[in-house]
Structure 1
């Protein structure tokens, strides 16, 4: 570990940049042809940094047409999220899904009413560097080229998520410490996330991470690094235009999907980067983005939304009098600690454990039916916490590990869906990326939703389903790797009538 203050001492102070300055720059450059960012989110937790944007769990041309119309009619910020769930897929499936989504988005844009739409593409992934990289941006770039003839000059890689304690300084990606470790930084490759069964990695220095994951196709020496000296070039004069020019100048050599990594510590850094990217694109650079959650907020010039209140969570809907359903599938350490804290504090909640070993045998259907019956009965009395057993079953084979994870997730989805159609809960919280994705798309059968905002400052998003059997039921997307030990209890308390 090292002290954050020591690492930052070598760099300039941040440049103060209002979100409106970014929004104005975007409006000026897209006056004739509106530009919409299509965010391919490899699990739904990417929405936790934004508010009042459309979310799709299906990606037919008609779904994109709905989203583009929603943006136009409601004059929202120009972005739509598409829930790909590719982190739960093998590489071939992930590639095929990315390609299909990009093709359909481009087709919908070409057929949309009104002014010609421009699309930008964002590959949203994990702030702790897990996921299909470089496969996903490669596929997006190839599909855009095949459909439009447009070559991608650079892929901008911004995993930072300061709200959740992930920052990039001097080209190195870190996790901030909490509690007694506050103020200290741990290189992300030294954390539990780097040991992920499917997406593990060895390097915290982003240029070396790119070389590692691309198996040498992109040598570290050829990666463009936008460190804080460049991001904050206008610090002495507090002039964002100086930083924007410095960033755009640094991107001039980018060609043929050159990887570009960026230092980010604060929201102002994200906005400075956004202005620089806007300037680079104005000069003709074609860019794709591989990013953590808050990048899109900065890139579209959206203000930071304050955490939703209990009243705001149910605004416009009549909440059910039944209990709420909290579903926990993630196995990372912070999730287990949050689950322990919730069960200790919420003494009136019924706790139902799904035994993972019983899901991996031929008689699993009967076991699932018993779990559903227990959940429905308990919801009549109050909140229900459903979690998978904490023993993580995995193998040394990444594909086999994914298959186990998908079997478990399918069972959880089955429980949620059958519960919803028997006795709808007051609210649903899903803890874990793959878990929350599958619960949204299949458990609650959400096709279109609006992300209303965060339940805690900067993290944990609330979706309002606008169609399907869960319409009007607040759905909380809670990443496995965010928050402190009390965060799950805090979110539940906001929504519950019995906590």
Structure 2
């Protein structure tokens, strides 16, 4: 389809590209950087806003700024045919409806906004408008999982129309939400899509990729007839909209990208239970050495404490690297408690700043870098490696993207970097990725 609209994804953490490949990830959103994305040959590009790590007011202002610059970039490139996706979490955590409201105000009007949270690689499906997470093969309504109890983004409903009513505080009632059910999608949705107007809220089922592929084809056909759509989604609808061929180098051969067959480095920030299991399993794998960052030391306000901690860790990292092994730098696992959400977010910023100082102090000749956790991965790209864009190579494991730094990077040219979300993969997944990068090298 030559007249395919450009798919512009505002990603609230840097893991939404986890089902596509060969496109650009932009870490900055000045007009010139956005024009790079619009001019690129790929039908899709990502702007990594990292808004999931921000309080609501900041999330709104970042989203508005991206959209205002996007308007200028679209005009400069003379592009009028585009779809906007607000990519967020497949377990329904994130700033909804704050982000879709801001996008609609800046880039609208839209005929509809669709909630499409299905993410098949991660075992998230939507049936009868109820969103499920597969837990040990059993579909579990997502409001019954740990994600619904998130201290920042908690919620009480897996039935998406009720989730919308809850999150919009009744502005959009559950009854007014349009539902695209599996039967509707499989029969074809063209007529219904053509009738949508006034930024109608719609929720979309999906049990497998074929469902969303069918829906996406109808969306693209309708868009080519002038309908304007906005999406709030997880990653699987992006695969369908972009309709890309298989990635250039398959997942199991991605060790080909490793620089000089050298050992790498692994940074683990995410705190979800799954990450902790994966970390324990990884540290059993031959060739890895764990280095714990005792983040409680950062509660002492002194600058000296964090400088001292940084010095100690970098010394350990260099020693492990010199012995031909891969250092696994991970934050201490005990959950600290804080008096309120903002204090917690502020402490998170402090921990992240320390982790990014560690990234910047890594040995210059590491062969690869694995970043575990969505917010950690965003910070690694934008702060640790100070990139304004990176090329996505594809997935090294379902749901785990690999990008490469540019050949001009002053410290780590052509470095393959794995972006590993907190809540993806089985207990051995982190170990699997490490082994894929260190075999046949």
Fold match, TM over 0.5? yes
**For the residues of structure 2 that align with 1:286 and 1:394, how far apart are their CA atoms?**
44
- With normalisation by structure 2, the TM-score equals 0.94
Give the secondary-structure state (helix, strand or coil) at the position aligned to 2:396.
strand
Query: Structure 1 CA distance, aligned partners of 2:255 and 2:26?
Result: 20
Q: Does structure 1 residue 359 correspond to structure 2 residue 298? A: yes
What's 1:122 paired with?
85
Structure 1 pair 377/325, CA: closer, same or farther in 2 (3 Å)? same
C-alpha RMSD over aligned residues: 2.0
TM-score, L = length of structure 1: 0.83
Query: Deviations for 1:77-124, whole angstroms, at most 9, x for unmatched residues?
Result: x11111111111111111111111122222122222xx6453321100
Kept in 1, the 8 Å contact 2:20–2:394? The answer is yes
Instruction: Give the conservation status (yes or no) of the 8 Å contact 1:383–1:498.
Output: no
Distance 2:192 2:207 in 1: 19
The change in CA–CA distance for 1:61 and 1:271 in structure 2 (over 3 A counts) is same
Q: 1:49 aligns with which of 19, 34, 42?
A: 19
Secondary structure, in 3 states, of the residue corresponding to 2:394?
strand
Aligned to 2:361, what secondary structure does the other structure show? helix
Aligned-partner SS, 1:47: coil
Q: Paired residue for 1:428?
A: 369
Q: Which residue of 2 aligns with 1:170?
A: 128
- Asked if the contact 1:297/1:303 (under 8 Å) is kept, the reply is no
**Matches for 1:190-269 after TM superposition, within 5 Å:** 190-233=144-187, 243=188, 247-252=189-194, 254-269=196-211
CA apart distance, 1:432: 0.5
Partner of 2:321: 379
- Tell me by how many angstroms 1:401 deviates: 2.3
Among candidates 59, 62, 69, match of residue 32 of structure 2: 62
1:345 aligns to what SS in structure 2? coil
Task: Say whether the 8 Å CA contact 2:5–2:220 is kept in structure 1.
Answer: no
Residue among 119, 134, 141 paired with 1:187? 141
Give the conservation status (yes or no) of the 8 Å contact 1:307–1:455: no
Give 5+ residue unaligned stretches, structure 1.
1-23, 146-150, 234-242
Q: 1:311 to 1:498 in 2, by over 3 A?
A: closer
- Aligned-pair CA distance for 1:425: 1.6
* Equivalent in the alignment of 1:83: 48
In the aligned structure 2, how far is the partner of 1:335 from the partner of 1:323? 22
The answer to whether structure 1 residue 342 and structure 2 residue 305 are counterparts is no
Structure 2: where are the runs of 5+ without partners?
Answer: none
Which residue does the alignment assign to 1:148? none
What CA distance in whole angstroms lies between the structure 2 residues aligned with 1:128 and 1:85?
Answer: 17
1:307 Cα shift?
Answer: 7.5
Residue 496 of structure 1: CA displacement? 2.3
Task: Give the match's secondary structure for 2:320.
Answer: helix
Contact 1:172/1:205 (<8 A) preserved: yes
Residue of structure 2 in register with 1:332 after alignment: 272
- 1:311–1:253 distance in 2 versus 1, CA, 3 Å: closer
1:240 counterpart residue number: none
